[in-house]
Amino acid sequence: MPDSVNLNSLSIHLRNGLGPSAFNLVPPPPCPVILNITMYLHPTSIKDTAEGDSMSGLGVNYSSVSKSIYGLLSDPDRTWTSPWDLLNELSCIPLSLTNDVERVKLQLELPKGLLHANSVIYKGIYTNSAPTATSTSTSTSTSKKERVGNTDEVVIRDQKCEIKDIKTECIIGLHPHERTEKQRLEIDVEIDNVDWDEFSHKWFADEVYNFVTSSSYATIESLIHSLGSYLFTLPSLSSTSISIVIRKPSAIPFAIPSIAIHRTASDYPLSSSPINEPTLMSRDNQGESSASASSPSQQQVKRVFIAVGSNIGDRIGNIQKAIKELQINQQCGLISTSRLYESEPMYVEDQDRFINGVIELYTSLNPIDLLRLLKKTEKSVGRTKTFTNGPRVIDLDLVFYGDEIVQIGQKGDAPDEDGVGWLECPHRSLVEREFVLRPLNDIAPTFIHPSLRQTIHQLLSRLPKSNPPALQPIIPFSSPSKPLRLYTPSIPHVMAIFNATPDSFSDGDPARTDTSYALKAVEKLFEGEDSPDILDIGGMSTRPNSEPCSESEELERVVPLIKAIRSSSNIKLKEVPISIDTYRPNVALKAVEAGATCINDVRGGSESGMLEIMAQLDVPVILMHSRGDSKTMSSLTDYSKYHGGVIEGVAKELEDTIEKALKKGIKKWNIVLDPGLGFAKSYQDNLILIKHLPSILSSVSKLSGYPMLVGGSRKGFIGKTINKPIASERGYGDAAMTSWCVSTGVVDILRVHEPSQARDTIRMSVAIRDC
C-alpha cells in the first residue's frame, strides 16, 4: 500500500446546490457536502520531505490543497450539473499542485441528498493522463498549476456510488409475532460500472426503498437475493456490479445482525424474474396445492407477466384503461410492455380480430388475490360474460407468477362473485398460443418456463411458420383513430405532411396558418379513394437555420386546425390518425387534447418534460434521431468516434433515446423510430443511412422490432443529388428513395409531401419485390 496524505471530513457549503436534490427541485437548493481526499504518493515522497523537515521541503502541503478546494467550491458563481462534474474538476487540484501525488481517491458525501437515506457517497480514483514528471522544480510546478481545472488532463477509474443507511419498514421474519407488525431495516447499496450520464441516485434509491417497503419476506436472505435480482432488471444496470447490506436492528437484543452480498448480472440468469423466492403455496395433507389467501406471511414482491387482449369496441382504449386500473392498485407496478399485435381469433373464429400484448408487473399480491384483481379490472373496463374463447372487451390472463407453478382448485370450479374459481399458471395451452408467446418474446426471450424448462424464444421457434405471419404488429392509435397494422416484409403506410407554417422549406405559405384555408387544403389531400394513412401537422419549421416561432404562435397554428379536422363531416378526417409535429411538451399536450393521436418529435424527446408528457398521454410517439437544433445541427455531423460511422452512431444514439423513454414510462408498443434524414447528417451520411436502413434494426440491435419511419421527402440531399434546387421539383428523386425504402422491407411509414404519388410508387415497388 503506497504512502498517502489524507484530508478527511472536509465540510463545504455549496451555495448553488448539487442535483438531483431530495425533492428533485430544479435548480437544486444550497446543500452541504463532505469530502474525503486520499493523495497516494510517490515512493520517496515522505523520505524526501522528512529529510527537508521544513515548509519549503514539503512534498504535499495539505493546507494549500484544502484552501484551493475551498476556493473552488465556495465560488458563488459556480454550478456543477452532477457530482461527477464536481469531482472531475476537484481532482485536478491535488494532481496539479505537486508532483509527489501519483493518484487521488476522492469521496464526495451528500448528507442531505435523500429523504429516506443517511447519505449518498460518490467515489473515484483519479490519475494524470500523461506521465508525471519527477522534477519538483519551480518551473515544473508552475506549468502544472496552469492546468488546474482542466478535466481533460485526468483519468478516472473505479467510479462508484454508495447509498448509505436507507431506512425502511416492512414485514420481515419467520415467527408469528414478526408477521403482525412492520420492522425497521437499514440498507446500504453500492454500485459501479453504470452509465453515469443516465444514473440518478434519487431514482436508484427510490427503487430500492419502494421494493423493500412493499415486500413481505420470511428471511433477510430471501429479501436480499430478490432485491439484487430486481435491481439488475432496471434500465442501464445490466452490466453493473452491486453490493448490498441489510441490517435488522431489532432482531436480537445485544447486537445488530446483517447480511451482505456482492452480485453481478451473471448471478441472476433469470434476471427478468427474481428466483428462489419463498413459495406462496402451501401443501395440505393430501399433497394438493391450496391458496395462501391473504396471509401476510405469504406476501412478497413478485415479477409477473399478464397477457392483455381485446376485440370489441375501442380495443386500444380498453387495454389502456385496464393497465391504468392495475397501476392504481398500490400493490402492483408496471415494469415493461411488449409490442401490440393483431391476430385472427383462435378456437372460435367467427369474431373480430384480437389485439394482444403482454405486460410485466411487480406485485406483492399472492396468486389468487392477483387473479381477483385481474377479474375486477376486466369488469371495471366493461367485460361481460359471453362464452369460452368468445369476444371480450378486455382479457387479462396471468401467464407467469415469478418462476412458480401455481395450481389452485380444479378447472371447472364454480366462480365466486369476483369471477374467481380456479387458477392454473402457467396455462397448459401456453405453448400453442403464439398471441402470447410472441409478445412475451419481446420482453423476456430468455425467461425459462418453470415446468418445461425451455426459454420463451425456444418455445416460440417451435411453432409452425405461416406466410403471411399469423400475428402482425400494430401502431396502437386509439379512438377516434384506428390501429395501423404493419406487415413483414413491410408495406409502408403513407404519412402526409401538412405544414401550417409560413416558412417551411418546400411549401411554406402565410396562408397555411389560417385555419379555414388550411382545412380546405387538408380536405384536398383526402379526396378520392387513396387517402393518406396518417396526417402529420406541424406549426413550426425545423429546417436548418430556421428561426423558431413562439409557443403561442405554434399553438394558434395547429390546435384550431386539429379541432376543425375532428369536427369535419368527412368521416376520413374524423378518424385519420393525426400526428403533431412538435418538440414542445405543451404543444404536444394541447394538440392531443384537441384530437391528435400521435406525437412526432424531431428532437427525440430531449426537451425538458417531453418524455413525461408522452408517457402521460399514452399515444404512439415518433422518436427521431437528431443533434442540436435548427441553428447548430449542420455543424454536428461528425460520427468518427463510432467505428461504424453514421450507421453505428445513429443506432447507438437512438438506443440511448429509447432507454430514456422507457425509463420515463413510455410503453414499448407506442414507440416508432426515425433515423432523422437531413438532421445533423452530411450529404453522404444521408445516402449511407438510406442504403443501410436494415442495419439500424439488425437482429442483434436493441432497436430490433421497433417500427421505422423515414422522412426524406424533398430534402436538400435529394435536391443536390438530382440537381433540383427548388424543393417542389424533387418528385422523381422522392420516388426513387421511396422505391428503395420499400425494397429494404423494414420501413413501415413514409412521411411525404405528395401522398398520391408515393402510394403509386409503393404499390409498384411492392409488386416487383414480392412477385
Q: How many CB atoms lie within 10 A of CB 207?
A: 17
Q: State the SS3 of 115-169.
A: CCEEEEEEEEEEEECCCCCCCCCHHHHHHHHCCCCCHHHEEEEEEEEEEEEEEEE
C-beta separation of 673 from 707 below 8 A = yes
C-beta separation of 338 from 359 below 8 A = yes
The sign of the torsion formed by the CA atoms of 223, 228, 229, 231 equals positive
Angstrom distance (rounded) from CA 410 to CA 423: 8
C-beta separation of 685 from 699 below 8 A = no
Angstrom distance (rounded) from CA 353 to CA 770: 25
Helix and strand numbers, DSSP H then E, in the chain: 21, 28
751 is catalytic: yes
The sign of the torsion formed by the CA atoms of 759, 685, 658, 445 equals positive
Relative to beta strand 302-310, strand 282-283 is unpaired
Task: Transcribe 220-252 into DSSP letters.
Answer: HHHHHHHHHHHHTTSTT-TT-EEEEEEE-TTSB
Residue labelled with grid coordinates 473515484 = 124
Residue labelled with grid coordinates 413459495 = 279
What is the grid cell recorded at 312? Answer: 370489441
C-beta separation of 280 from 367 below 8 A = yes
C-beta separation of 12 from 73 below 8 A = yes
Please pick, among 667, 715, 730, 759, the residue that the annotation labels catalytic. Answer: 715
**Amino acid letter for position 498:** F
Task: Transcribe 579-628 into DSSP letters.
Answer: EEE-S-HHHHHHHHHHT--EEEETTTT-STTHHHHHHHHT--EEEE---S
Residues in the chain, total: 771
C-beta separation of 274 from 230 below 8 A = yes
Angstrom distance (rounded) from CA 460 to CA 640: 39
Q: Give SS3 for 404.
A: strand
Q: How far is CA 735 from CA 17, 316, 718, 730, in A?
A: 55, 34, 11, 9
For the chain, the distance separating the N- and C-terminal CA atoms, rounded to the nearest angstrom, is 73
- 514 burial (CB, 10 Å; 0-12 / 13-18 / 19+) is middle
**Dihedral class, residue 409 (left if φ above 0, else alpha if ψ from -120 to 50, else beta):** left
Relative to beta strand 183-192, strand 154-172 is antiparallel
Relative to beta strand 493-499, strand 749-752 is parallel
715 is catalytic: yes
Q: Give SS3 for 27.
A: coil
Angstrom distance (rounded) from CA 180 to CA 281: 20
User: Which of 374, 103, 312, 82 has its CA nearest to residue 201?
Assistant: 82
Please pick, among 339, 543, 590, 751, the residue that the annotation labels catalytic. Answer: 751
Angstrom distance (rounded) from CA 349 to CA 129: 69
Task: Transcribe 461-517 into DSSP letters.
Answer: HTSPP-SS-SEEEEE---TTS-PEEP-SS--PEEEEEEE--S--TTT--GGGGSHHH
Active-site residue list: 715, 751
